[in-house]
């Protein structure tokens, strides 16, 4: 059942995607993106990425909302991503590194102080690494 559902939604996403693209394309110009892609990936790969990206958009949106982001903002944020980036975000939202200086430092003070001094880390601003 789940498989049938997934197949159907893939098909639906693909058909919406392609009718959409036909209507919105500027005249019959071919985009720089297409030129760039064709030099790297094969045709089949391109289509797959497109479908994955189309399916992921919803995922990305709800994933962002579930993580405390305002829905209106989430929409703008997703819109600012390229298709490729959006699918990456969808798959990595919980594992990709995020910058936040405090992080989860529940570590032994001495260990980090030592590694700071050795220049392997830089947790404490007051330390001066030996090298």
Which value, in Å, is the radius of gyration of the alpha carbons in the chain?
Answer: 22
- Minimum separation from the CB atom of position 3 to another protein (A): 28
* Residue 82: burial class (beta carbons within 10 Å; 0-12, 13-18, 19+): exposed
CA separation, residue 63 to residues 14, 19, 75, 89, 92 (Å): 22, 27, 11, 9, 10
Interaction between residue 23 and another protein (CB under 8 A): no
Instruction: Assess 12 for contact with another protein (CB under 8 A).
Output: no
- Nearest approach, Cβ of residue 6 and another protein (Å): 25
In the range 99-128, which residues lie near another protein by CB under 8 A?
Answer: 99-105, 107, 112, 114-123, 125
CB of 13 to another protein, least distance (A): 18
């Amino acid at each position: 059942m789940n498989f049938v559902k997934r197949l159907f939604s893939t098909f639906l996403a693909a058909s919406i995607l392609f009718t959409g693209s036909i209507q919105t394309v500027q005249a019959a110009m071919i985009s720089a993106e297409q030129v760039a892609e064709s030099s790297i990936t094969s045709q089949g790969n391109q289509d797959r990425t497109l479908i994955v990206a189309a399916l992921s958009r919803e995922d990305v949106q709800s994933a962002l909302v579930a993580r405390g982001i305002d829905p209106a903002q989430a929409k703008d944020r997703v819109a600012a991503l390229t298709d490729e980036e959006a699918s990456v975000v969808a798959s990595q939202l919980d594992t990709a590194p995020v910058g936040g200086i405090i992080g989860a430092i529940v570590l032994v003070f001495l260990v980090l102080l030592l590694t700071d001094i050795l220049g392997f880390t830089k947790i404490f601003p007051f330390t001066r690494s030996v090298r």
